[in-house]
Amino acid sequence: MNAPLNADLHCHSVVSDGTLSPEELAQRAKAHGVTLWSLTDHDEIGGQARAAAAAAACGLDYLTGVEISVTFLHQTVHIVGLGFDASDASLAEGLQQTRGGRAQRATEMAADLARVGIPGTFEGALTYAGNPNLISRTHFARFLVETGVCKDTYEVFRKYLTEGKPGFVEHRWASLKDAVRWITQAGGMAVIAHPARYKFSANEELALFTEFKGHGGQGVEVVTGSHSIAESANYAAMALEFGLAASRGSDFHSPGESRTELGALPDLPAQLTPVWQLLAERIQRAPTPARV
Ligand code: AMP
Ligand code: MN
Ligand code: MN
Ligand code: MN
């Protein structure tokens, strides 16, 4: 049996829709007891070099990371990639393509919100986007909170920006096959992110897991900030059934917003294979302090 490891393999920086820098996240992860960390910005690996350097500087082991937006059966699914070579050209090109439609989508979201009497949200959201190529619904949500339209970002996503609500614009992201291929061909492992968040029927979910495996996907998030204890137990069983390794990550975005702190998660159930066991060779080990 493996000793539990405080691994946090899912979080976001200002390079996507988080509010902290990669350096601030590394320090915060360290302060909360994390020993193996990964920064997994949405569709973007521009923060990887800084994250790896910051991890080394504060004594954290590091795995490269990304969270790719995928469209599967008309829903958005997130696929986390871990331990890939961040200089891989096809991965970079695939991510650039995936980011491509965000500005246009944001313009359409703003037009839709203006129709229900909320003007100026494109410009407003943009002031929150640390990376103008990665304007996301989270940036709109922060603007709607700041301007008093909603009391917090949870209320925003309840009333706006989600399917059937004002400000929702359907978008076509990467295919499941491409996302898994970009990650695995770059030497990394593809992991289904927060599976309980999707609104699939049992058959559709089966199709997701089956196709994901068929494309070479190897892992699933079992313990995440998005799962209840019961949901974790359910996806632990799914991991065993499908022969997938299990991942653990907070999905931390911001001190003011996120309900789950970096590293503050239950351990993975003992019978599962942790993703970091299969990725041992890909871990960038923190330099051990010199002995005196
Ligand atoms: P986007 O990639 O622009 O579609 O934005 C997706 C991001 O919005 C997610 O990564 C979350 O950070 C946030 N988000 C999406 N849905 C919700 C929700 N229901 N509650 C809170 N945050 C959400
Ligand atoms: Mn996000
Ligand atoms: Mn996600
Ligand atoms: Mn995430």
Q: Which has the closest alpha carbon to 61: 69, 49, 52?
A: 52
Q: Which has the closest alpha carbon to 29: 3, 47, 11, 5?
A: 11
The span from the CA of 158 to the CA of 175, in Å, is 27
Q: Is the pTM of this model over 0.75?
A: yes
For every one of its 292 residues, what pLDDT tens digit does the chain have, with 9 covering 90 and above?
456 899 999 999 999 999 999 999 999 999 999 999 999 999 999 999 999 999 999 999 999 999 999 999 999 999 999 999 999 999 999 999 999 999 999 999 999 999 999 999 999 999 999 899 999 999 999 999 999 999 999 999 999 999 999 999 999 999 999 999 999 999 999 999 999 999 999 999 999 999 999 999 999 999 999 999 999 999 999 999 999 999 999 999 999 898 999 999 999 999 999 999 999 999 999 998 766 6
Cα 248 to averaged position of ligand 4 atoms, centre (Å): 12
Would you call 205 exposed, middle or buried from its count of C-beta atoms within 10 A (0-12, 13-18, 19+)? middle
Cα 75 to averaged position of ligand 3 atoms, centre (Å): 12
219-224/189-192 β-pairing? parallel
In the chain, how many H helices and how many E strands?
Answer: 11, 8
Cα 285 to averaged position of ligand 4 atoms, centre (Å): 24
HSE toward the beta carbon, residue 203, CA cutoff 13 A? 1
Which among 99, 102, 136 is the best mutation to test ligand 1's pocket, defined by most ligand atoms within 8 Å of the CB? 136
